[in-house]
Chains A and B, each alone.
Chain A
Amino acid sequence: MAWRALQLSRWPGALAVIAALALVLVALGAVILRAEPGRGLGPADWAAIRFTVVQAALSALISAGLAVPLARALARRDFPGRRWLITLLGAPFLLPVIVAVMGLLAIFGRNGWVNTALAATGLEPVSIYGIQGVVLAHVFFNVPLATRLLLQGWQDIPAEEFRLAAQLRFTKRDLFRHLELPMLSRVLPGAAGLVFVICLTSFAVALILGGGPRATTIELAIYQAFRFEFDLGRAALLSLVQIVVALGACLALFRLLPLHDPGQGLDRVVARWDRSAWDMPVILLGAAFLLLPMLAVLGQGASGLFSMPDAVWWATLRSLIVALSSAALLMLLALPIATLSLRHNAVEAIGFLGLATSPLMIGTGLFIVIFPIADPQAMALLVTVIVNAVMALPFALRILVPGLRQAVDAHGRLAASLGLRGARLWRIVLLPRLRRPLGFALGLGAALSMGDLGVIALFADPARGTLPLQIEQLLAAYRVEAAASASLLLTLCSFSLFWVFDHWGRRGA
């Protein structure tokens, strides 16, 4: 192996791993010490746990269920705009949660399009508040994710198998039973499991659409114990519950996730004879479900973009600083850890801390640590930067590790024989070859941090918060128009950050 010849230092990686671990462990330790198990979990806490699991399970089932026909239709149809549509499936991942919720409110809210239509036909209005709204928002975010995973599954079925099936005059049913079903049974549980884990730590969606004790997630209960009652003991206890639930689910997920085994014939739409007349309607419906909320925000927000309160612009500036700092910190952590993981594969698992731990648990823990020695509100943005970087770590590692491995494999020996090492090795050999994944990971980290509404809600002085928090306040005060304009601004910022970094990466590659 080339890394053996290359003298890549291990200590920066070890340091980064220790830093990330320490952050989580210090927070966890503080939470354990502060939790008051004596009071135990009341009926309302159990209700929150139940709600968290039920909504995550429903979200996972519905997302996976809807993704099957959509991915299937996309897999067997080629049409103009197909690539564009598949790229679009990635957009909700970058779309700030609060913006999506705004969009869904514009469509499914009391005065939204759906209810206006229902009222016109004399039907009872539907309410978006409560479990149905929470699940709807989660489905909006996760259908695209599940669809992409499944589409990958379909494309991994080698084209030769389809040709063979055609020769054997397989009917649609045979095809489904012999080719598609085995693939689905391999990929679908992992996709559903991933959605389940993501939805377990849902906060912003439940904060806005939850409403009331009946629809409270554990994350939201932590926030309420913290901001409503300033009951740190309870917040800590709930944080412990959250980490037990999320960690358990994550461990189960590892068993469900398929080992990725890219088959032959990737990247080409197989000419299929089993197309159904339903394919295009399914694709159109899917695209409408994903596009309409985004268009609604655009329509609502565009007119007021330049008449927003000053506070929104200040919040935007703070958010941009947070996003860029968080992306920089993400690289400081991810690059050394990726390097170390070339030698020790298991190291990449550290990234999953970001999935298994909840931001509000880390926030609560850090608050407990900071409170006696400094003003936590003054450190709100710093804590947000750190937590966002750790949360984005699993994605960054996934993106960076293969590229780094390839660069080291291809150029490691030559570089070693030339005696390149340290900073020069990175500058001359590795970084130029990593430019593309680096740009992608930086863009992702910055965009995710830009749109994050989590730990900032716990810590911040509301007048000195980030843009997503500002939108939440505008929305709570029923200044819907200003909230829509600010949402549009947030979306522009998130997507631009991603585009600038990603474009920088692609240009050099």
Chain B
Amino acid sequence: MKYLAIGTALLAGAAAAETPVLTIYTYDSFVSDWGPGPAIEKAFEETCGCDLQFVGAGDGAALLARLRLEGARSDADIVLGLDTNLTAAAKETGLFAPHAVDASFDLPIEWSDDTFVPYDWGYFAFVHNADLNAPVSFKDLAQSDLKVVIQDPRSSTPGLGLLMWVKAAYGDEAPGIWDSLSDNVLTVTKGWSEAYGLFLEGEADMVLSYTTSPAYHLIAEEDPSKAAAAFEEGHYLQVEVAAKLAASDQSDLADQFLAFMVTDAFQSVIPTTNWMYPAVTPEGGLPEGFDTLVQPGKALLLSAEDAANLRDEALTEWLGALSN
């Protein structure tokens, strides 16, 4: 009995002395070995005296569902990986707390949001093998017999981004576009990782990804064989954001991380691990190879409010077209 008491006391002491843990929910590709997670974890832990734990929780939109499922009980202190198509719905949950980050962002749009801090951005695009005679518009794609892999808009931010892309480009004509695209859709995956994996395995001609994806193959693999198709309609913009949860038990640490997120130490890792444009261009500028990427003629983006209002309608149209 005595030993048990001593043991309990020791354990309790150890728990008290433990370093604080900052838990961040993010999407799967962020935490993978080749993603930004490991480098960022190392960099932040050097300064914070804490244990930073990334938890991969599916893709961006499923992240939000998981938070709603867990509610205020969630272990998460920060969520990293939502985008502007989801921020309005996320704010509505009341689960998030305002931030105090002040930075001069290098985004293609003005940024003023008291809850969400952007950390990178990019344009959605269909990625294909460079030797493919790629379509130049959605209509062109619909007329081809090319097979594409896309992501489910209910679980994935690229999937939702594609809905908004078609909606922003075609408005009320969007259902017709989806009808004509439905026979080009090979399959719909839960998240970006699954879709990109299918494409790399050779299962499809094109995959919904980003204009920056070919940079990965070019820089990391010295393989110039991938390209992004430039679409005449313009390309939809994605701004990826992070925010602190109101119920966090590491509020100060979370603030510290959000501030760290817009510094060079974080931002310089982004282009060659997350393969997106950094939200604040680091001192050294963009890595070589990024200048070869497709520059969209026109950037499309719906405001967070418009995106939230259009989501259900667009989702119903999409489901309707693809379930036939």
Contacts and interface: CB of A to CB of B under 8 A. Distances in A.
A43 B201 contact: no
B207 interface: no
A212 B186 CA distance: 9
B203 A230 contact: no
Contact of B320 (A43, A230, A371, A476): A43
B190 interface: yes
Given A224-B154, A228-B155, A230-B65, A212 B202 contact: no
Contact of B187 (A43, A111, A211, A477): A211
Between A212, A375, A478, the greatest number of chain B beta carbons within 10 A of the residue's beta carbon is seen for A212
Contacts of B28: 477
Given A213-B323, A214-B322, A228-B65, A477 B154 contact: no
Given A229-B65, A375-B73, A110 B201 contact: yes
Nearest to B70: A377
B300 interface: no
Given A42-B316, A478-B197, A228 B61 contact: yes
Nearest to A129: B187
A117 interface: no
A44 B321 CA distance: 9
B48 to A, nearest CB: 22
Contact of A478 (B56, B190, B194): B194
B316 A44 contact: yes
A212 B318 CA distance: 11
A376 B186 CA distance: 36
B139 interface: no
Interface of A: 42-44, 47-48, 51, 110-111, 127, 129-130, 211-214, 216, 224, 226-230, 371, 375-377, 462-463, 476-478
A228 B201 contact: no
A214 B62 CA distance: 20
B202 A477 contact: no
Contact of B65 (A51, A110, A227): A227
A449 B152 CA distance: 30
Contacts of A216: 323
Nearest to A111: B201
A462 B319 CA distance: 27
Given A227-B65, A476-B190, A212 B185 contact: yes
Contacts of A51: 323
12 contacts: A44-B320, A47-B319, A110-B202, A212-B152, A213-B323, A214-B323, A214-B324, A227-B65, A228-B190, A375-B73, A477-B197, A478-B201
Contacts of A371: 71
A213 B322 contact: yes
A98 to B, nearest CB: 15
B226 interface: no
A44 B191 contact: no
B187 A130 contact: yes
Given A130-B187, A229-B154, A43 B203 contact: no
Contacts of A47: 319, 323-324
Which 4 A-B residue pairs are closest in the complex by CB-CB distance? A47-B323, A212-B188, A44-B319, A228-B154
B256 interface: no
Contacts of A212: 152, 185, 187-188, 322
Contacts of A229: 65, 154
Nearest to B188: A212
A211 B188 contact: yes
Contacts of B323: 43-44, 47-48, 51, 213-214, 216
A110 B198 CA distance: 10
Nearest to A374: B73
B193 interface: yes
Nearest to A376: B69
A55 to B, nearest CB: 14
A476 B59 CA distance: 11
A478 B316 contact: no
A462 B57 contact: yes
A161 to B, nearest CB: 51
A476 B194 contact: yes
A478 B195 CA distance: 10
B189 interface: yes
A224 B324 CA distance: 18
B31 to A, nearest CB: 10
Given A44-B319, A110-B201, A110-B203, A213 B154 contact: no
Contact of B188 (A43, A213, A476): A213
B88 interface: no
Nearest to A130: B187
A477 B35 CA distance: 13
A375 B55 CA distance: 18
B83 to A, nearest CB: 16
A476 B193 CA distance: 8
Contacts of B70: 375, 377
A481 to B, nearest CB: 13
Contacts of A377: 69-70
A42 B319 contact: yes
Contacts of B55: 463
B99 interface: no
Contacts of B61: 228
A478 B69 contact: no
A42 B203 CA distance: 31
Interface in B182-239: 185-191, 193-194, 197, 201-203
Contacts of B190: 228, 476
Contacts of B185: 212
B283 to A, nearest CB: 34
Interface in B50-72: 55-58, 61-62, 64-66, 68-71
A478 B191 CA distance: 12
A127 B186 contact: yes
Contacts of A476: 190-191, 193-194
A376 B64 CA distance: 17
Contacts of B73: 375
A228 B191 CA distance: 11
Given A42-B319, A43-B320, 9 more contacts: A47-B324, A129-B186, A211-B187, A214-B323, A224-B155, A226-B69, A228-B155, A229-B65, A230-B68
A115 to B, nearest CB: 10
B208 to A, nearest CB: 13
A130 B188 CA distance: 10
Given A129-B187, A212-B187, A214-B322, A228 B152 contact: yes
